[in-house]
Amino acid sequence: MKKIYLLALAMFLLLGCSPNQNTNPNLLSLYSKPTPSQALADKPKDKQIQVRVAGNKKLCYAPKFSSSFDNGSYLQLVDCSSKEAIAARYDVFGRLAFNINDTWFCITAPEEVANGAIGQDYAYLSPCAINLSTQRYKVMSDSFYSNDSFYSLKDDGKYVYAARFLDRKLDAHIIDNEMKEWLNTNATPAGLNLAMYLQWNADGVKYYIHNGFSSTDFGVLYYNLQNGYIASYDKFSPTISCLNSNVGTKDWAWAWWDKCSDAKAPSISKNLAYFRPVLIGNGKVAMRDRAGNYLRLTRYGIHWGQPYTARLEFLNKDTQNSPTSEFFVHLSMQDWMRFIGGNEGDNLPFCPAPGFTIKSNIGLGQNVNFDSNFSQKPKVSLMKNKSLNPNLTQNQDRIDIEVWEPRLLSIVRSTTPESPVVGICGTCLLHAYQIIAEILEDPFHPRANGGYFFNTEANVDPFISFRARNSLLFGTLADIAQYYSLPVRVEADIFTNSVNLAFASSIQMLPQYDWAMVGQSQTSGGIDEILARIFQEPVGSIYLAMLSRTAPGDTQPSGHASVMLRTSTGVRVIPTNAPNIDLRDLRIYMQNTTNVAHLRHMLGDMGSTVANVNALAVLRVGEVYQNTFNYVISFDNCTGFGDHRRGNARLPSADAVNQCASGRCMW
């Protein structure tokens, strides 16, 4: 079988978009950008947790670790003069945290108490994670309560328990008056970690990475969002161990686990435990180490399930025992990556985050979410009901295409023959993202200049201003593209790889929307079925069409991307990467299409000729994606570009976390 390689996906879908800027120094003045009132989390005032127990006796919380307790730890009540009564932090996320051996451990309620399966059990310590609701506490009636008020921290005179509100077997101790200043301090977060897992599949069976092996048993890991650590926790130590990688000049090397902490990490270039996730699809990531090597494991053989890292250049040779770099992650990990993408591209809706409360419980069992609040998302209107949406549109056109013609013309002419390929984002796809973003931002009032991702200017490379404005996002797209540039051996896989790449890139470019695959096909009948489906979709829907097409006389296909709008009477196709088009030709190109044959003809229109569309994939831009992190986290200087376009375009840092508009960020 003939080998076909995706050399950086050149010559194919969207990276070689067949044709059909300079940074503006006054860029920030192009938008109404009121400076929001924001405040960093308070400087910590860590202190012993002092409480009044039965008989008005004053005691303090003291963390203990013991193998005799199922969770490996407990909280004892001791005299406050005891050295065991160490200081704790009540942080901006409502967590009660102790720093032990340079690692933050938070008071955690057993999940069986949180979900109502049992009435009481010992509170314990586990690594602090921002996505665990059982680590968040509010103060009510001078006591610590879960945010849903379902349980509180109580005692039996010796130990601290998490117990239901109606429990009468335990005493409800109260917080001592000397703690008021501590309680009013919305302190800098006790680290930025996510409880997560790395799951991989073989023969339909789910396996999870543990410290040193893989197993069908559910495995909890912690990802340090600031240091890039993938850590496992030994609850009886208490210590965390981080996955390390050091390939050096070799093709591959085994990864190993070594003790680590939440202390400040060395620079990335020297950090052997650094890994960064690359979103490669819905719920799927690849992990890359400090040198860009991929975390992998084999699914068969004597070393199956044991992680190693390998150089990109070696991956096309690394085929024995079915290796994989594709890992499935919990929804909260994907939501965090969407949140970071939004922060990089100034696509967050709030600055500062408002903070809100919804009922949620967690579970660390194999079949239970870490935190169900990440799927119980609040319902909000889409961009104040100004944006196109298949579920919110009326039975009429939401956009006056004539009003948009000058703006669309300026976007599609912003290109040069030398415009580079960056990630999946060839010029045509970058144009498509800008068109979609600006229409959804305000379908009634097109911009006159500037641009959502790049400054529009005829015969100027749009990637110049895109990279200057969104350098981190620019790099993220390159990471995604590199993963999908791995060689394939079946021609059809080139298109499939490219579609997967476009899907992942779309989530990173416009993470505020819920992207959905309408369909993809590489057969003529299948393509027509997809196009026929578009005519049945709700009026006002907007689509990203990705296609492979072959011009008459050519033997090699080229990739392209267009935007489609579902109108009240048909479908319009909006071109991209058309440097020589004029207003008259644009109007002809965008005429309303009423049947499948004409729609397919318009997708193949290359100006001087009409190409055959031999592969098609269509993504629908759905409702606003309800990402919990958008509501509870923001970083310093998240001014962005005005209403609904917030962010600070920097990497996350615990020291840069803002307080929420409501004060402490509780959810």
Residue by residue, what is the 3-state secondary structure of 76-143?
EEECCCCCCCCCEEEECCCCEEEEECCEEEEEECCHHHHCCCCCEEECEEEECCCCCHHHCEEEECCE
The residue count of the chain comes to 667
Q: How far is CA 490 from CA 5, 263, 321, 585, in A?
A: 9, 47, 20, 38
Contact 83, 124 (CB under 8 A): no
Q: Strand order in 542-550's β-sheet?
A: 513-521, 612-624, 542-550, 558-566, 571-574
Contact 117, 141 (CB under 8 A): no
Contact 432, 391 (CB under 8 A): no
All structural domains of the chain, each given as residue ranges with its CATH number in brackets, are: 27-35+370-624 (no CATH), 50-183 (2.80.10.50), 193-335 (2.80.10.50)
Question: 152-166 burial by CB neighbour count: b if 16+ within 10 A, else e?
Answer: bbbbbeebbbbbbee
Q: Has residue 421 got a pLDDT over 70? A: no
Question: How high is the mean pLDDT of the chain?
Answer: 86
How much of the chain, in percent, has pLDDT values that exceed 90? 70
Across the strands, what pairs with 611?
A: none
pLDDT in tens, 503-527: 999 999 999 999 999 999 999 999 9
Ramachandran angles phi, psi of 174, nearest 5°: -120, 155
Quote the pLDDT of residue 17: 55
- CA–CA gap between residue 372 and residue 364 (Å, rounded): 11
Contact 545, 433 (CB under 8 A): no
Q: How far is CA 261 from CA 47, 153, 223, in A?
A: 21, 28, 12
pLDDT in tens, 556-613: 888 899 999 999 889 999 999 999 999 999 999 999 999 999 999 999 988 778 889 9
Quote the pLDDT of residue 34: 56
DSSP 536-605: TSPTT-EEEEEEEEE-TT-SS-EEEEEEEEE-SSSEEEE--S-TT--HHHHHHHTS-B-SHHHHHHHHHB
State in Å, rounded, how far the first CA of the chain is from the last one.
55
Quote the pLDDT of residue 420: 59
Quote the pLDDT of residue 1: 34
Q: Which of the residue ranges 111-115, 387-391, 404-408, 651-655 would you say has the lowest mean pLDDT?
A: 387-391
Quote the pLDDT of residue 359: 37
Quote the pLDDT of residue 68: 85
Average pLDDT over residues 155-176: 93
Contact 278, 480 (CB under 8 A): yes
Quote the pLDDT of residue 3: 33
pLDDT in tens, 24-65: 333 233 333 456 789 999 999 999 999 999 999 999 999 999
Q: Has residue 13 got a pLDDT over 80? A: no
- State yes or no: cis peptide before 25, omega within 30 of 0: no
Q: Has residue 358 got a pLDDT over 60? A: no
Across the strands, what pairs with 91?
A: 187
Helix (H) or strand (E) run with residue 209 in it:
strand 205-209
Quote the pLDDT of residue 482: 86
Q: Extract the tokens encoding 68.
A: 């005799």
- CA–CA gap between residue 268 and residue 270 (Å, rounded): 5
| Between residues 54 and 424, the one the model is more confident about | 54
What confidence tier does 489 reach under pLDDT thresholds 50, 70, 90? low
Quote the pLDDT of residue 467: 92
Quote the pLDDT of residue 67: 87
pLDDT in tens, 265-314: 999 999 999 999 999 988 999 999 999 999 999 999 999 999 999 999 99
DSSP secondary structure code for residue 28 in this structure: G
Cα 666 to chain center, whole Å?
20
Ramachandran angles phi, psi of 342, nearest 5°: -65, -40
Quote the pLDDT of residue 397: 52
pLDDT in tens, 234-254: 998 889 999 999 999 999 999
Average pLDDT over residues 539-550: 93
- CA–CA gap between residue 144 and residue 126 (Å, rounded): 18
Residue the block writes with tokens 């969407």? 338
Q: Has residue 435 got a pLDDT over 90? A: yes
Burial (CB < 10 A; 0-12, 13-18, 19+), residue 50, is: middle
Helix (H) or strand (E) run with residue 204 in it:
none
Average pLDDT over residues 318-326: 94
Quote the pLDDT of residue 32: 39
Residue the block writes with tokens 């072959």? 550
Quote the pLDDT of residue 490: 65
Q: Nearest 10 degrees: CA dihedral of 300, 302, 307, 309?
A: -90
Quote the pLDDT of residue 417: 75
Quote the pLDDT of residue 121: 96
Q: Extract the tokens encoding 420.
A: 């580079």
Quote the pLDDT of residue 373: 36
Quote the pLDDT of residue 655: 96
Q: Which of the residue ranges 158-167, 378-387, 439-448 would you say has the lowest mean pLDDT?
A: 378-387
What confidence tier does 434 reach under pLDDT thresholds 50, 70, 90? very high
Ramachandran angles phi, psi of 121, nearest 5°: -170, 165
DSSP 345-407: TT-BS-SS------------STTS-S-GGGTSPPP--GGGGTS--TTT--SS-SS-HHHHHHH
What confidence tier does 419 reach under pLDDT thresholds 50, 70, 90? low
